[in-house]
Amino acid sequence: MIISLIAALTKNHVIGKNNDLPWHLPDDMKYFMQTTKGHHVIMGRKNYDSIPEKFRPLPNRTNIVVTRQADWKAEKCITVNSLEDAINIAKQNNETELFIIGGAEIYQLGFPLTQRMYLTEIQTELAGDTFFPMFAKSEWRETSRIHHVKDERHAYAFDFVVYDKRT
C-alpha cells in the first residue's frame, strides 16, 4: 500500500487560516476530489470539523478521523486514536493508496511514513496559522507537474505536483 499526502500550500507553506482555506481554487478542489475518490482518507478531527457540513463525510471515500477524544464520533466515519490505527484499517481493507489529507499535526505525524506527495503549490505567499511541514526537496523526486494559470475563477497561479520519495 502506498501512503500519500495530499495538500495545497503557498510558497510560505500556509495550508490554513482560522480553520479554513485562505484561498478559493475550484480546480484544486476538483483535483483533490478526483485524486482521493475511492480511497481511504485520514484526517485529524479539527480538519474534519473544518469541512463544510454538506460535504461531510467526504463522499466516495472511507473517512478515517484521528482524535484524542475517546468519545468523539462522526456519522459514516471511522474514528481512531492514532495514525497507526488508521493506517492498519486501510491495510486490512486492502487499500492500494491511502491519503493523509491533514491538518498540520496529522501531516507531521504521517510525513516519515509517506512515499508520495500530491502538492498543489500555490504561487503566492499568504498569512495563515496552519503550515505544511518543511521538507528537503532533495529527498523527493518530482514525477509530474501541471501548471494552472491565474484566471477569472482562480486568484493565483498554481501547480499540481507529484513527488515520490527517493529510496
| pLDDT tens sequence across 63-114 | 999 999 989 999 999 999 999 999 999 999 999 999 999 999 999 999 999 9
Q: How far apart are CA 104 and CA 159, in angstroms?
A: 21
H helical segments located in 8-163: 26-36, 45-50, 83-92, 104-110
Instruction: Give the model confidence (pLDDT) of 1-60 as tens digits.
Output: 999 999 999 999 999 999 899 999 999 999 999 999 999 999 999 999 999 999 999 999
State the Cα–Cα distance between residues 151 and 153, nearest whole angstrom: 5
CA angle 95, 89, 99 (to 5 degrees): 50
* pLDDT at res. 156: 98
Q: Measured between alpha carbons, how far is 51 from 44 in angstroms, rounded to an integer?
A: 11
Q: What is the pLDDT of residue 167?
A: 85
Q: The CATH number of 2-165 is which of 3.40.50.970, 3.40.430.10, 3.40.47.10, 3.40.50.720? A: 3.40.430.10
